[in-house]
Structure 1
């Protein structure tokens, strides 16, 4: 059997997913590309065999051949498209975040439940082999009881200011991956969050009302303490590291490199810079997440990252933002009401 996809959004992440569906995902077929910019949709569709393009995504929802849609459009469109796709009986893979509003997220999740379709959220880092090995070490008790989780996530350069203005802010756009990783590794839920931040990379980011540097401290229900270290610019490349310290040891990951060569001379010892950004660092995880989504549909089993998994990091982002504004720890219950 084959799962037939339509992709909504022909931007950077949409192009990645479309290419993977068409060429790398097992038992998957790409039928449609939709984007409000028809030129972009046409250009992406032309890269593949017999893929149609449109500037009206509802044409995909109306196509009875389509089994699943992949939402890679702008975040403010996600929740409404989820509702429409669910009502059309389509399974859904949606990029993060679902939305910036909990009421809109809840409406989308309710529509998915009512329609009895599957929804997976695109937290691709869960599918990275390094992060999975860290979780395995925790779940297998290899390091005893986990006490501390430290997540370092730093981009090589900040996004364009025009993007920053519509991104929802660093906590919703960047840190949200780290909030999800904290839940993934601890197997628990955040209870209290304290965040501090500043503008240390680009004053224009501050003028746009956002942060570019932050440290977040969280207490989870199982007692684990989690820290997240974020920056919009690491001059040496994409910095993605995790350490979990436990009663019986620790497990940690390092950055990935294009090669394993080390140069040693009388002047010192060095190596090339890490992989530059997420496109290179997480290339395989994007493929794996769609393989597992497709296989879940074919085998009628739960998807690995549910709608509720997509909702929780949004709550955490809201708590972090409120913490910065009030300069105090914020309990998650303050957000949930």
Structure 2
């Protein structure tokens, strides 16, 4: 069986997650992983996964001719230069979202990818969730008629620490960007207008750092549909991820994932366990599926990844428009974000 030689840049939480999934994929050989901080713990972890090369220098991956594909799981500010260098080295690329905090820089990275003729897939893992894929299928096949309203609820169980907030790019670019991609994915249409309102209702420190923790975002789509996204950095009951698409012939909705389906009924109440608490639990299978499809795309030579650089660019443009809308207190047309 042909195997794809892979290098991973960034050995943080997401980098390690991808490494562990890839190490169990019979079509993949993880040859090298790089990180700014190479510790004994990292070396031991890599050895247990069968990754023999651990380096502080990401160029060891870029310049290795035997490595065919690179997973970029480093901090967002490094994505554009790493994508550019990997593309110029002729390597296929999987990059975590967002590609950058400035969609204009992202456009430059996409030009480098296009010029090199390599494949770029972006880590919008929610597209690979079995429930959301079913919603997309029902909308695309016309089962609920023409889409009229798209509702997305996306709430984290707890806010990130202040150090993360400082470099995250803000709620719209860091958190809601998944929802902007999901809105395009479920509707099958481009967003034409954004109106966003935000507040600091969870933690005043987030406001002191120039960000918000709660938001309502209204969308208009090219196909005439309308959408609404609500975000919060803190849902005390768990990771809250729900969608509904209402159409001319019906509707389809997806509720949260739970650890089990048990429902307890007593004389006092009817209740069940809280939803899964963390995104790594909620989207465990989708993380596996997104990397599997990326690998298969390269090995089969199809070059048609399920979520590409254009999808990343569009989500970033919507995020930029949302922030502009909130700051200026008005709806923003997407054509303003050139």
TM-score range, shorter chain: over 0.9
**2:10 matched residue in structure 1:** 9
Q: Secondary structure at the match of 1:82?
A: helix
Return the alpha-carbon distance in structure 2 between the equivalents of residues 318 and 44 of structure 1: 38
The offset of 1:51, in angstroms, is 2.6
1:30 aligns with 2:39: no
**1:104 matched residue in structure 2:** 105
Return the alpha-carbon distance in structure 2 between the equivalents of residues 315 and 309 of structure 1: 10
Q: Normalization by structure 2: what TM-score?
A: 0.97
Given the alignment, which residue of 316, 320, 324 partners 1:322? 324
Return the alpha-carbon distance in structure 1 between the equivalents of residues 251 and 281 of structure 2: 27
CA contact (8 A) 1:3 1:67 kept: yes
Return the alpha-carbon distance in structure 2 between the equivalents of residues 307 and 42 of structure 1: 32
Consecutive unaligned residues of structure 1, counting only runs of 5 or more, are none
Cα deviation code 1:228-274 (max 9, x no counterpart)? 01000000000000000000000000101111111111111111111
**1:176 matched residue in structure 2:** 177
User: Which one is further off, 76-85 or 257-266?
Assistant: 257-266
Consecutive unaligned residues of structure 2, counting only runs of 5 or more, are none
CA contact (8 A) 2:192 2:335 kept: yes
Q: Secondary structure at the match of 1:303?
A: coil
Return the alpha-carbon distance in structure 2 between the equivalents of residues 61 and 12 of structure 1: 21
Return the alpha-carbon distance in structure 1 between the equivalents of residues 179 and 327 of structure 2: 20
Cα deviation code 1:84-137 (max 9, x no counterpart)? 000111100000000012231111111111111100000000000000000000
Q: Which runs of 4+ in 1 moved over 2 A?
A: 40-44
Return the alpha-carbon distance in structure 2 between the equivalents of residues 178 and 50 of structure 1: 34
**2:135 matched residue in structure 1:** 134
Return the alpha-carbon distance in structure 1 between the equivalents of residues 43 and 50 of structure 2: 12
CA contact (8 A) 1:193 1:320 kept: yes
Return the alpha-carbon distance in structure 2 between the equivalents of residues 103 and 93 of structure 1: 20
How many matched pairs? 335
CA contact (8 A) 2:5 2:29 kept: yes
1:310 aligns with 2:317: no
The offset of 1:50, in angstroms, is 4.1
Q: Secondary structure at the match of 2:335?
A: helix
The offset of 1:41, in angstroms, is 4.4
The offset of 1:47, in angstroms, is 2.7
CA contact (8 A) 2:151 2:245 kept: yes
Return the alpha-carbon distance in structure 1 between the equivalents of residues 156 and 276 of structure 2: 11
Superposition pairs of residues 215-234 of structure 1, within 5 angstroms: 215-234=216-235
CA contact (8 A) 2:33 2:51 kept: no
User: Which one is further off, 39-48 or 226-235?
Assistant: 39-48
Q: Normalization by structure 1: what TM-score?
A: 0.98
